[in-house]
Amino acid sequence: MNGFDAYRAGGHHAVHGWMQAGLLDFLTAIDQHQKEMGVDGAVAEIGVHHGRLFIALHLLLSDGERSAAFDIFDSQELNIDQSGFGDRGVFEQNLRLHAPRTADRALIVPGDSMELTGAGVLERLGTRVRLFSVDGGHWADIVCHDLHTAADSLSPGGVIIADDVFNQSWPDVCVGFLRFLSERPEFAPFAVGYNKVLVARAEDAPAFLELIAARSAELGDRSKRQELDGHPVHVIGMPKPRPVLGNAPKPAPRRRWLGLKAR
């Protein structure tokens, strides 16, 4: 079992954070597709907290690739919306535990993401980013800024993983996300699920959408085709519907089939 599979199978349970494990089945599909298509670059995240998603991305690195973790970490006075609370010490400990042989390939950059730009990412990493998670500040201006940073440093064939776009606890995130889409029509969402929206360049989105739909069918995941702001998207990891019955009469109990043959 490689490091990623071990992390998916159980390692992630030991890392505090918000990444839902079901997402990992889809990240591997995207990673494999990128490798088949010759897409390379770094992996990166803005807003790593203790590294729950970052470590999964890092474990997908090919030889020679690097990762970058951007967070305000110990300057939590800058965390104006109190979304998580990065802790560099805990993060580095988790990374060394789950990726002992490659932990030194992670570039850790403390600071406010509002000071970071796509050019700054490229300068620090010396390469574009093929998987970029955006999960830092949860206010519209920050979300939109961070998505621009990801878009400006994305590899051709790269994917942005936007967090909390439909999370009712963070209503401003969807405002920032939709603003980004209107400012960058060359990007399009292609999948929604596990509290993430996946975004690629518009010309790459249809192939990623089919990839996600196929993976979802393979897994027997509950999913459906929908639209998001005029773009086709595949909704994955849908919870089973639980109707609210209120005062409606209870449905009659289902009869058990006793297997008696009619005479």
Ligand X SMILES: C[S@@+](CC[C@H](N)C(=O)[O-])C[C@H]1O[C@@H](n2cnc3c(N)ncnc32)[C@H](O)[C@@H]1O
Distances (CA, A) of 160 to 27, 145, 153, 260: 11, 13, 10, 58
**Minimum distance, C-beta of residue 258 to ligand X, in the bound complex (Å):** 50
Q: Which of 94, 113, 149, 223 binds ligand X (CB under 6 A)?
A: 113
Q: Which of 31, 33, 61, 83 binds ligand X (CB under 6 A)?
A: 83
Question: Cβ closer to ligand X: 18 or 166?
Answer: 18
DSSP 136: S
> End-to-end CA distance of the chain, in Å?
57
Question: Structure tokens of 37?
Answer: 């298509």
Contact 141, 176 (CB under 8 A): yes
Question: Structure tokens of 72?
Answer: 């305000």
Q: Which of 71, 162, 165, 191 binds ligand X (CB under 6 A)?
A: 71
176 binds ligand X (CB under 6 A): no
Select the span of 131-139, 149-157, 196-204, 229-237 touching ligand X (CB under 6 A).
131-139
**Residues making up the chain, counted from first to last:** 263
Pairing relationship of beta strands 67-71 and 42-46 according to DSSP bridges? parallel
Contact 51, 15 (CB under 8 A): yes
Contact 109, 125 (CB under 8 A): no
Helix (H, G, I), strand (E, B) or coil at 142: helix
Select the span of 15-23, 93-101, 178-186, 231-239 touching ligand X (CB under 6 A).
15-23
Question: Cβ closer to ligand X: 170 or 208?
Answer: 170
Contact 89, 49 (CB under 8 A): no
**Minimum distance, C-beta of residue 81 to ligand X, in the bound complex (Å):** 7
Q: In one letter, which amino acid is 44?
A: A
Select the span of 26-34, 76-84, 121-129, 218-226 touching ligand X (CB under 6 A).
76-84
137 binds ligand X (CB under 6 A): yes
221 binds ligand X (CB under 6 A): no
158 binds ligand X (CB under 6 A): no
Kindly list the residues in this chain that would bind ligand X in the complex (CB under 6 A): 17-19, 46-49, 52-53, 70-72, 78-79, 83-86, 112-114, 135-137, 142
